[in-house]
Every structure is written in structure tokens, then in C-alpha cells.
Chains A and B, each alone.
Chain A
């Protein structure tokens, strides 16, 4: 089953769950079914619950916020995550302030989902990873789906009544859409075992099969589409250099959960590597780093042991070769680490 199909199933589940659940956004209606087809066939099945909008991202996010006042839950599709810059005002100056001032006003929940990242040759304004805008706003929950965990199952958790967060921004890596889920067998072929830590929305743990409880050379932290690049780099480091790795892949990337920090502290490793498609400055890595600094006194972790890897600050070019040069990838991760030992 492809990643996109599982996202579609998750959205189908959302609409089937309650007649007061709505999906709004641009070009969602059938037969088109959304720019990446995430809502395909859903407007046929739930015609009153999918609302097509004009190209007006700010106002239809405002519309969705207002709709929650009367106990509607609303999924908003933002066609490309680059447009998060457009809606940031609505999330930061309106939705988050409502939640902080009078949490009772939004009686329903807001879920903004968006295709994220590059590697499709879409050029400078359809390829970015702008989630950094929202780092540090504790009431805006950022969730990044990945191919190690069925997005349908993750969406079921996010759409459950037990899930309380009212402002949610969900990143789906666009190059993951046509790909199949990565199975346990796939991981094993790469020499990795998978464990799922059931805390919050969950953290996926991947480790070289021989090293579950041993000290590893590297502890990787990454999210979303960086799983594939990190896994490939870690596999190569093991096969070619006999360097061992563990990978922690959380669903929730903002605010940073204490459990993730606890996991870092409870692991034995030589170097902590944070990998993201974002640029390194003002990054998820710096968010992790600030959390670690607060808890550093409990561990022997030193700043020298932490490496932040991300993409270049150069333009993400529509020229696919230049784009590849600017974005972080498995080769760059490998090259950054192979000579450290």
C-alpha cells in the first residue's frame, strides 16, 4: 500500500467518524481530488463534508478557525507547505492566542495538513520546509508523518476524541506519496530492527540488529522524509565502515516531548546527529539542542558530541541537479560522519 493511499484512508476515516467533520481547501473535489490526490473520491462519498475554496489561504484558515467555534472539526489542506508563510499570521496571531486566552472558544479541533519538502524539481517556492516558523509555539502541535508508521493509524490517533490538541499542523513529505510503506522486512534487509515507543503519537526506534543495548557510534534524530536519507546513510556507515547507529524518529516535532529528550539521555552513543531537510540555522536541531542544554547536567553529553545536519541556505533551484546539491541527502550525511571516527 502506498503512503498516499494510507493518507487518503485516514481522511476517509475522519469524514466517516462524524458529520461535523469537514475538509476544506483548494481543488479538493473530485474528479481532481487535490493536487496530490489525497482527497480523491472523498467528495463523492461525503459531498457535504468537503468544501472547495478559492485561492485564499489566509481567509480559509480563518474560516476553519471560526468553524471550530460551533463544535466542528476541520482539516485544512494547504497545497504546498511553502504557503505556511501565508497562513502563519492566522496560526500565530489568532488561533494560538485564542487557545492561550480562552480555550473554550475553539470547541472543535483544527488540523492543517500539507505536503512538505523538495526533491521533485518544483523550484524555490514549492519545495521548502518552512515548519521552522512555528518552532517554539507550544500550542501549535507539529506532527510529521513518515513511511515507517502507517499514516492511517497515526491519523486515527490524531482524529480520536482522546487526542486533545486543538491546533495541529501535519507535515506529509511529498516525495513519500507514491512510495510504499517501509516494512519491518525492509528494515531488516538494511540490517535494522524496528521498535515503536507508544508515547503520545509515538517514536519509532531503529537500531542495528546486533546493537540494541550496546553503545552505538551514532544516535540519529530525524523526522518525516529524512527517514529514508538517514537510513541509507546509517546502512552505508555500517556496511562500509562497521559504524553502528540508532535512529529515533518522532511523530511530534513541536513542542519537543520530554520523552524524546529522555530517550536521548538513556541511550549510549558517541555522537548525536540531528538530520532535517530544513536549513540548520533556526532549526529543529537548534530546538533539540536548547532542550538538551536544559537537561545536560544530568548526562555526560557535551556540545562536541552533537552534530546538526540540514540543507544549504542557498535557493532550492528548479534545476534538479542544483536542488540535489543544496538539499541534505544520504551521501552528505555519510560524508559528514565517516571521517569523525
Chain B
């Protein structure tokens, strides 16, 4: 059974994982590119919390570390992937963006992943399996046409899929207000996909919504969507753009809200335990 302490531990571990990458990159322990999810961790945890991590499926995008770690919790595999080792998530060949392992799939060609998610959900439905897909997409993926083709297919075929739109208000360096016309929710509504609003620091709200939607989708056919406003509290990639990306001023760092929900001593213990957990992985890079 879930507890807020367990939730906080998952969030902290993902946060410290993401923070560890900066030094590892600077020290040339990992290479290539990566896209961190600092500030977005609680969404990944909330909407994977009630999934069956053996039978359900998570589809993600380039900003995928949080989704993978929340769902699969295989930190060693992801670190190994980032250093190109054979026992990494994608056998060291996919790197940060392209994670393909059992029931987790991510790719950085935005929009195309949504069609793959619909296909996986279609496979579940045709086989009459009680499994579902959670498909994370960012506001940037609202640009490509294949996104809307896929929403159409998901609704038309009544597929068991939850679209989680992580709207951080910025795609690389382009603000959402400069790239999106109209209204996000109305776009989903036009395809007959029920969409729910939440924010990335509303821990209780997201947990409740995630639980209810996953139960509903598994018991009734048809996709639903969540529009989560949240802040990406880091650069798009490795510090190649403006760092002050807090677009939605009223939305807090989810860790600040978790702190208010847990007594100080326990909160500090969780933070220290999580930090130590990640530090042990990091140390292995310097041996």
C-alpha cells in the first residue's frame, strides 16, 4: 500500500539521480545528451504508482528518466545505459532518450511514441488483457500531426490508455504561448477524450487522480487524459539554455509540498537515505 513517505522517497531518488548527472557529464563519466526532469518527478511517480509494473506499459519521450525510474526502479540499469554499458536498459545503445525494455518504451521523435502507445493498447484490447498503457507526453509533442492522428485512433478504437500531458510551458527554449494556438484541453475534448486538470505540486490530488483513472480505464474501455501544469526546474538539456524555466509561478517544487506533509525528522531521514542511495551509484563511476 502506498504511503506519502514512500512517495517522497521515490521523488527524492529521482531528483538526486537527475542532479548527479551534471557532475558525471562534466567529469566525462557519461557522454552524449540527456534531458532531466527536475521539478517534474512527482508526476512520474503519481501516474505510475498504481500500475502493474510487470503487465502494464509505460511509454515516454526524451525527458524519460523520471518515468522509467518511477515505474521500473532500475537505477543501475539506467546509469549503465548512460555510460553505454551492455547491461544498460537498452544494452548501452539507446542512451538517455531511447529506452526500450520489456514494458517500458521511450523515443525522442516526439509524437511517434503516442502512436506506438496506441498500438500497445490495441494489442492489450485485442487479446482481452486487463492491462493498460500510460503515455507521457510534453507540451512540445502537441506540435506534430501524428499526435492528433494517434488521439483519434485511441478514441476511435476505445483503447485502454492514459495520456499524461506534462505541460511545463516551454519546449526546449520556445515558450508554449509562442507555439500553441487555442486550448490544450479542447484539443483532447474534440477527440472525445475526457481530460482532467491538475498541477505538478498537488501531491494528494495527483495520487487520487492517478488511482481513479487507472482503475477506471482498466474497468471501462476508452482513453482518458490528464493535463498537468508543472515547472521544469532545469535546462532543456545539459545547460545549453536559460536555467530559469519556472514558467508557472504559482506552482511549487513538489519536494517543497512534500516537506509540508511529512514531519521534519522523517522527511530529513528520507532525503538522506535517498541521497546515500544515489551516491553509492555515483561512487562506482570513480572507482
Contact = CB atoms under 8 A, between A and B. Distances in A.
Contacts of A100: 93
Contact of A102 (B57, B91, B122, B152): B91
B118 interface: yes
B157 to A, nearest CB: 8
Contacts of B126: 20, 22, 67, 70, 72
B119 A65 contact: yes
A62 B146 contact: yes
Interface string A44-82: 000000010110101111111111111110000000000
Interface in A86-114: 89-90, 93-94, 97-98, 100-102, 105
B50 interface: no
Interface string B85-127: 0000011011000101100010101001011111111111011
Interface string B271-284: 00000000000000
A176 B216 CA distance: 51
A98 B98 CA distance: 9
A85 to B, nearest CB: 14
Given A59-B146, A93-B107, A101-B98, A66 B153 contact: no
B52 interface: no
Contact of A66 (B90, B100, B120, B152): B120
Given A90-B115, A94-B112, A63 B122 contact: yes
Given A70-B129, A100-B93, A102-B90, A59 B109 contact: no
A58 B127 CA distance: 23
Given A97-B107, A102-B101, A66 B91 contact: no
Contacts of A102: 90-91, 100-101
A89 B98 CA distance: 15
Nearest to A62: B115
A61 B156 CA distance: 16
A72 B123 contact: yes
Contacts of A60: 115, 149, 153
A20 B123 CA distance: 9
Interface residues of B, number: 34
B148 to A, nearest CB: 9
| Contact-residue size bin, chain A (C-beta under 8 Å from the other chain) | 20 to 34
B101 A62 contact: no
Contact of B120 (A61, A70, A89): A70
A296 to B, nearest CB: 33
B167 interface: no
B93 A90 contact: no
A60 B114 CA distance: 11
Contacts of A51: 157
Nearest to A100: B93
Contacts of A97: 94, 98, 107
A93 B109 contact: yes
Contacts of B93: 100-101
A54 B127 contact: no
A94 B107 contact: yes
A59 B149 contact: yes
Contact of B123 (A56, A66, A93): A66
Contacts of B98: 97, 101
Contact of A70 (B115, B124, B145): B124
Nearest to A66: B119
Contact of B149 (A54, A70, A89, A94): A54
Contacts of A53: 153
B231 interface: no
Contacts of B120: 66-67, 69-70
B150 interface: yes
Contact of B116 (A20, A54, A65, A71): A65
Given A65-B119, A67-B126, A69-B120, A56 B112 contact: no
Interface string A183-225: 0000000000000000000000000000000000000000000
Given A62-B119, A62-B146, A65-B119, 8 more contacts: A56-B152, A59-B153, A60-B115, A62-B115, A66-B121, A67-B123, A67-B126, A69-B57
26 contacts: A22-B126, A51-B157, A58-B112, A58-B146, A58-B149, A59-B114, A59-B152, A59-B153, A63-B118, A63-B153, A64-B119, A66-B117, A66-B118, A66-B123, A68-B119, A69-B120, A70-B127, A70-B129, A72-B123, A89-B112, A90-B112, A94-B107, A101-B93, A101-B98, A102-B90, A102-B91
